[in-house]
Structure 1
Amino acid sequence: MLQRDNIGMKWLVRCLVAAGTMGTAGVANAQSSVTLYGIVDGSILYTSRTMNMQTGQNAGHQFSFTDSGMTGSNFGLRGTEDLGGGLHAVFALESGISVANGKFNNSNGNFFGRQAWIGMESPYGTVKAGLQYSPFFLSLYHTDPRGMSQFGSGLVSYVNNVFVTGLFNSNSLTYTSPEIAGIQAMGMFAMGGAAGNFQAGRQYSASLRYHITGLTLTGALYSGNAGGSAASTPVPGTVEFVGRTLGASYRFPNSLTISASYALYKVAQSFDNSVYSGGLSYMLTPYLNVDAGVWYTHDGNDGGNHSLMASSGLQYYLSKRTTLYGQLGYVYNHGRMDTGLSINNALFGVTGSTVGASIGMRHLF
């Protein structure tokens, strides 16, 4: 009897060990990775006229060190795990920083205030939940002639109108479809996060993108309400506005890309701004790129409010990661329009003409 019990116990132990080994092997075989990445960008900025934020009047010219002259300085973690069957768990945590003083910048003002989401990728599309970019902003990004530079680009016009609303969206759910016959759709719904008030801070956005060879066509919409928990972020992220955009770009085989777009920012009880833009980007050599663009803004509520911004940039690639750059810009504001030239230190401009320049260095890691 004792011998039979020993045999039975040995058999049970072997089964448990085998089961445990198979479970461990399954975990060990799952492929996962986490990547640390970021951008460090600093520049020197000059503008011939600068707005006094207390009085709204011209404070004279400025010559200053500026964080993020071309691309917002940031660092982050990006991860993925292969779950098998074409499924991947993914996440991103990204914080904006300032190389000028080490504080938060280029975000909604919070730690990991640029991106903080978790999601699932599959052959049927990607679902994400958390703080992320809206389809409306991404559509504008794809057709901006200067790649949404922090100086003299569509990004300046965007933030001037609605701050970071629609750029960094809290409490959001997104779905991005796979690309089928060159067509890709994306939708976003952001819950306001206010108990008892479903409409407060509620935001939604959708886009459609068509891509074939060098041609890209985009269209997107955005609608957002004021309030909600996202309204407590240090940088305003729930400006109530309706957005619309249509854009196109074409990349020629010789590395020339031309772009044009239309964007509407209809802000509640404020401007009804239509922005028309166009420009180009060209790789002169494998180490040298030049780009230029023009943005004309018109207020549909008052034809006397309009602005014209034009800018150009030159990038010299010391390596794949390190770039030296120079940028020139001009803006003319008429009526109550206050378009500036730079996200940092010159977001708002004064009536009349202003010229500016930026030189700096960017490193990717």
Structure 2
Amino acid sequence: MKKSLVALAALAVAGVASAQSSVTLFGVVDAAVSGYSNKSENRFGSATTSRTALTSSGYNSSRLGFRGTEDLGGGLAASFWLEAGINNDEGIGTATGGGLQFNRRSTVSLSGNFGEVRLGRDYTPTFWNDTVFDPFGTNGVGTNLISTASGKNTPGSFQNGFVANKNYSRASNSVGYFLPPNLGGFYGQVMYAFNEKDKYDPAALTPDAPDSQRAGRYIGGRVGYANGPLDVALAYGESTIGDDYFAGATTTQNTWNLGASYDFGVAKVFGEYSNNKVKTDWKNPADASGLSDPGANGWLLGATVPVGPGLIRASYSAVEYRNVVAPGLKDPEAYKFALGYVHNLSKRTALYTSVAYLRNKNGANLTVGGPDYAGDINGHSLTPKSSTGYDFGIRHSF
């Protein structure tokens, strides 16, 4: 439960906690029984891969965090936020290697009438629209296909698509600025994330290795308006996902998305459109002859309906790839319908269930989660067709 000047554990993590105006320990523990069934087929037959598992983060992402604020006077405040993802079904962190690391957010900031300057690891501006305007909040089998196609919840994703972006949801080594909250409903942010690569002089000493000079950088921004029942936001980001220094090539993933929601009281409706393109710039334009820029367009329509202490959630999302197959072939596509219900036992505890059905066309290979598709039958390759799944779980926040 939330406390000010909390517990010895929080004070130890915060360092010089006695100087803080407030320190809070917070978190979410979310566990679910989840099932997945992914079917692929060819003219010789079909194959299904399935899994039943105890999972975490089916409704809200499980996490453990510490945050604090010190009033510096004159309208200034210094703050810190350390938040670690946890896989509570296995008792480990979500970071690579399973250790407990502050991989969700790790920032220190200074705020005042000018807004907030924030340094560290944080959400990217372009990810906010994907999660804020999704009735399922990019969690569980209901996660929208815009997010899934970017690498979330799917082990493979389209192999020629736009998934090699480690800065999709969060960026490390970032400097961000947020507008102050007193602008009549307008809000916004910008972010720049350093790639922290070594530079060499003379340039001939640069290692002849891929992704050694420019990969990892992110720059983006988001602006929106929220007033009463309406919330609408536009975001753009450019993430450098690859480079070849001596070939003079730099590959970026450029994303822009527009999302909105409107609360009618009896129901809240959501919508989002996202455009993603992977673009390679060449020092010598002749090297790019005949090459095309792969990408994808995605969209979502959804709604939540309050029912007593509960909430019905529904969404329909789609992704259409571009320039990822040979000319003359049909572009891969995927469509998904998700339906769920959340029953609030209190302000902090809820039971939930979600089901989802996904249909692939023309070679797309997205899933609602779980195992990847079977690759072949007796040496004959299989084409991914459909994926279904469910979550039934409990979420407790503190």
Cα distance in structure 1, aligned partners of 2:98 and 2:120: 16
Matches within 5 A, 1:11-30: none
1:97 partner SS: strand
**Contact 1:43 1:69 survives alignment (8 Å):** yes
- Equivalence for 1:194: 197
Deviating more after overlay: 143-152 vs 108-117: 108-117
1:93 has 2:82 as partner: yes
Matches within 5 A, 1:91-240: 91-105=80-94, 111-154=101-144, 155-160=147-152, 162=163, 164-179=166-181, 180-196=183-199, 199-226=214-241, 240=252
Query: Higher Cα Rg: structure 1 or 2?
Result: 1
2:38 partner SS: coil
**Contact 2:37 2:48 survives alignment (8 Å):** no
- Equivalence for 1:278: 301
- Equivalence for 2:316: 294
TM-superposed CA distance for 1:318, in Å, is: 1.1
In structure 2, runs of 5+ residues without a counterpart are 1-15, 41-45, 153-161, 200-211, 244-250, 281-292, 375-382
Task: Map Cα deviations across residues 106-161 of structure 1 (whole Å, 9 max, x no partner).
Answer: 78977111111100111110110001111111132222232222322234344345
1:140 partner SS: helix
Cα distance in structure 2, aligned partners of 1:226 and 1:304: 23
TM-superposed CA distance for 1:59, in Å, is: 4.9
**Contact 2:59 2:136 survives alignment (8 Å):** no
Cα distance in structure 2, aligned partners of 1:116 and 1:88: 17
**Contact 2:38 2:373 survives alignment (8 Å):** no
Cα distance in structure 2, aligned partners of 1:90 and 1:213: 28
Cα distance in structure 2, aligned partners of 1:145 and 1:88: 33
1:315 has 2:337 as partner: no
1:253 has 2:251 as partner: no
Task: Map Cα deviations across residues 29-73 of structure 1 (whole Å, 9 max, x no partner).
Answer: 97611111111111111122278xxxxx95522222222222221
- Equivalence for 1:324: 351
In structure 1, runs of 5+ residues without a counterpart are 1-26, 52-56, 229-238
**Contact 2:56 2:87 survives alignment (8 Å):** yes
Task: Map Cα deviations across residues 234-277 of structure 1 (whole Å, 9 max, x no partner).
Answer: xxxxx9411110111101234x2101110123235884111111
Select which of 60, 68, 73 maps to 2:62.
Answer: 73
- Equivalence for 2:3: none
- Equivalence for 1:13: none
Cα distance in structure 2, aligned partners of 1:50 and 1:40: 31
1:337 partner SS: coil
- Equivalence for 1:263: 274
Cα distance in structure 1, aligned partners of 2:217 and 2:197: 9
Cα distance in structure 2, aligned partners of 1:250 and 1:133: 23
Percent pairwise identity? 29
Q: Which amino acid aligns with 1:188?
A: M
- The structure with higher relative contact order (CA 8 Å, sep 6+) is 2
**Contact 1:329 1:355 survives alignment (8 Å):** yes
Tell me the C-alpha RMSD between the 2 structures: 2.8
Q: Which amino acid aligns with 1:185?
A: G
1:121 partner SS: strand
Higher helix fraction (1 or 2): 1
Q: Which amino acid aligns with 2:74?
A: G
Matches within 5 A, 1:38-53: 38-49=27-38
Q: Which amino acid aligns with 1:333?
A: N
2:276 partner SS: strand
Cα distance in structure 1, aligned partners of 2:354 and 2:60: 12
1:69 partner SS: coil
In structure 2, the CA distance between the partners of 1:278 and 1:291, relative to structure 1 (3 Å rule), is same
In structure 2, the CA distance between the partners of 1:72 and 1:135, relative to structure 1 (3 Å rule), is same
Q: Which amino acid aligns with 2:35?
A: Y
Cα distance in structure 2, aligned partners of 1:347 and 1:75: 30
Deviating more after overlay: 304-313 vs 58-67: 58-67
Task: Map Cα deviations across residues 94-114 of structure 1 (whole Å, 9 max, x no partner).
Answer: 111111212222789771111
1:137 partner SS: helix
**Contact 2:33 2:393 survives alignment (8 Å):** yes
1:172 partner SS: strand
Q: Which amino acid aligns with 1:152?
A: G
**Contact 1:72 1:150 survives alignment (8 Å):** no
- Equivalence for 2:7: none
1:356 has 2:389 as partner: yes
Cα distance in structure 2, aligned partners of 1:250 and 1:347: 36
2:64 partner SS: strand
Cα distance in structure 1, aligned partners of 2:116 and 2:344: 33
